[in-house]
């Protein structure tokens, strides 16, 4: 069910790839990559993919503080 939701959101928002981690009570219940981390080279996204987020990190920092 979560896979369908994520894939639909990716299609709707034209997201080529993403990685998800869902943690419940300190334990991972879902750790998975979807789509492509690199479209040009057809590299799949995995739970270990490192993404360059550039200035998006500022939004996370501002939200947390």
Question: Hey, where are the domains in the chain?
Answer: 2-64
- What string of H, E and C letters represents the secondary structure of 9-50? HHHHCCCCEEEEEEEECCEEEEEEEEEEEECCCCEECCCCCC
Nearest-5° Cα angle at 24, 49 to 4: 60
Per-residue pLDDT tens, the chain, 65 aa: give them.
899 999 999 999 999 999 999 999 999 999 999 999 999 999 999 999 998 877 877 887 888 76
> Rounded to 5 degrees, what are φ and ψ at 11?
-65, -50
Does pTM surpass 0.85?
Answer: no
54 CA to centre of own chain: 15
């Amino acid at each position: 069910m979560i896979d369908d939701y994520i894939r639909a959101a990716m299609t709707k928002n034209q997201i080529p790839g993403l990685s998800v981690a869902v943690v419940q009570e300190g334990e991972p219940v879902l750790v998975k990559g979807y789509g492509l981390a690199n479209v040009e080279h057809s590299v799949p996204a995995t739970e270990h993919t490192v993404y360059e987020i550039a200035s998006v990190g500022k939004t996370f920092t501002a939200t947390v503080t």
